[in-house]
């Protein structure tokens, strides 16, 4: 009986390990399918699924310069919260990543915090403006 339990446990562990390799540790921007955006001062949620806008957001995210293991120390609440949806397998649930975004009004740049990786990123003026227009002007 103990051998049967050990065998079932071992098979279960192998199946779990095999299935967990389907979702990569690093974000694959080509798998980004949707972005939900909430403004910091509003409860209204904007959902972006249009392919052209998603492509633009992929390009912008690829330009972010990240610094790992940093917590943001901002005086203000975030201007926006963006939830990114990645679909790696149509038979599996989407993988979610949440970014907190602060737009710097003087410089025109943006600061982005990735909660999952505890990383702080910066975005230049041009890409920040494009991101702001996409998120605010639906």
CATH number at residue 35: 2.60.40.4400
Q: Is the pLDDT of residue 17 over 60?
A: no
Residue 19 lies in a domain: no
Residue 4 lies in a domain: no
pTM, whole model, 2 decimals?
A: 0.75
Q: 105-131 burial by CB neighbour count: b if 16+ within 10 A, else e? A: eeeebbbbbbeebebbbbbeeebbebb
State mean pLDDT over 112-134: 92
Residue 12 lies in a domain: no
Note the residue count of the chain. 138
Helix ranges, the chain (H): 2-20, 51-62, 125-136
- pLDDT bin (cut points 50, 70, 90) of residue 134 is confident
Residue 113: name the closest of 122, 125, 124 by CA: 122
Among 31-35, 38-42, 49-53, the least confident range? 38-42
Distance CA 50, CA 35 (A): 10
Structural domain containing residue 60: 24-136
- pLDDT bin (cut points 50, 70, 90) of residue 98 is very high
Residue 6 lies in a domain: no
Count up the domains in the chain and report the number.
1
Q: Is the pLDDT of residue 93 over 60?
A: yes
Side by side, which strands form the sheet with 110-114? 45-48, 32-39, 80-86, 95-103, 110-114, 119-123, 65-67
Residue 13 lies in a domain: no
Q: Is the pLDDT of residue 3 over 90?
A: no
Residue 35 lies in a domain: yes
Tokens 């230049």 belong to 124
State mean pLDDT over 23-29: 66
Residue 29 lies in a domain: yes
Helix ranges, 30-120 (H): 51-62
Residue 55 lies in a domain: yes
């Amino acid at each position: 009986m103990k051998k049967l339990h050990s065998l079932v446990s071992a098979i279960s562990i192998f199946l779990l390990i095999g299935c967990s390799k389907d979702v990569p540790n690093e974000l694959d921007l080509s798998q980004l399918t949707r972005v939900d955006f909430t403004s910091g001062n509003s409860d209204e949620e904007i959902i972006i699924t249009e392919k052209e806008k998603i492509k633009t957001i992929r390009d912008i995210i690829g330009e972010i310069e990240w610094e790992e293991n940093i917590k943001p120390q901002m005086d203000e609440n975030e201007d926006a919260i963006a939830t990114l949806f990645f679909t790696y397998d149509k038979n599996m649930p989407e993988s979610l990543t949440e970014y907190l975004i602060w737009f710097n009004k003087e410089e025109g740049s943006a600061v982005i915090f990735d909660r999952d990786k505890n990383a702080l990123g910066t975005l230049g003026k041009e890409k920040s403006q494009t991101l702001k227009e996409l998120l605010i002007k639906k």
